[in-house]
């Protein structure tokens, strides 16, 4: 399902503001529209962008939305990290 970009921006506005407050590079890229890559642990993302019901599906949707804005957000989970390390 494809959602309107304005709808997505409203939906993720609190997450975007939290990421802007957390990372100066993200803030600059968001405000200027420039390209940016950020890697973050899923556990850190849960703390930075809290939700009452944490579902990775919504964070995946946030990652896709940010991709449309030229921002690459790489989310690493302990499960993924451990698989790559072995």
Partnered with residue 38 across adjacent β-strands are 73
Which regions in the chain score pLDDT beneath 70? Answer: 1-3, 52-56, 79-86
pLDDT at 84: 46
Neighbour tally for 48: CB within 10 Å? 14
The separation between CA 68 and the C-alpha centre of its own chain, rounded to angstroms, equals: 12
The pTM (predicted TM-score) of the whole model is 0.80
Which tens digits make up the pLDDT trace of 69-85? 999 999 888 765 554 44
Count of all residues that appear for the chain in the document? 86
SS3 24: helix
């Amino acid at each position: 399902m494809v959602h309107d970009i304005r709808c997505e921006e409203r939906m993720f506005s609190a997450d975007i503001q939290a990421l802007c407050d957390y990372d100066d590079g993200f803030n600059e890229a968001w405000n200027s529209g420039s390209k940016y890559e950020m890697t973050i642990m899923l556990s850190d993302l849960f703390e930075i962008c809290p939700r009452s019901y944490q579902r990775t599906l919504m964070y995946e949707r946030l990652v896709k939305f940010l991709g449309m804005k030229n921002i690459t957000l790489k989310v690493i989970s302990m499960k993924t990290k451990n698989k790559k390390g072995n």
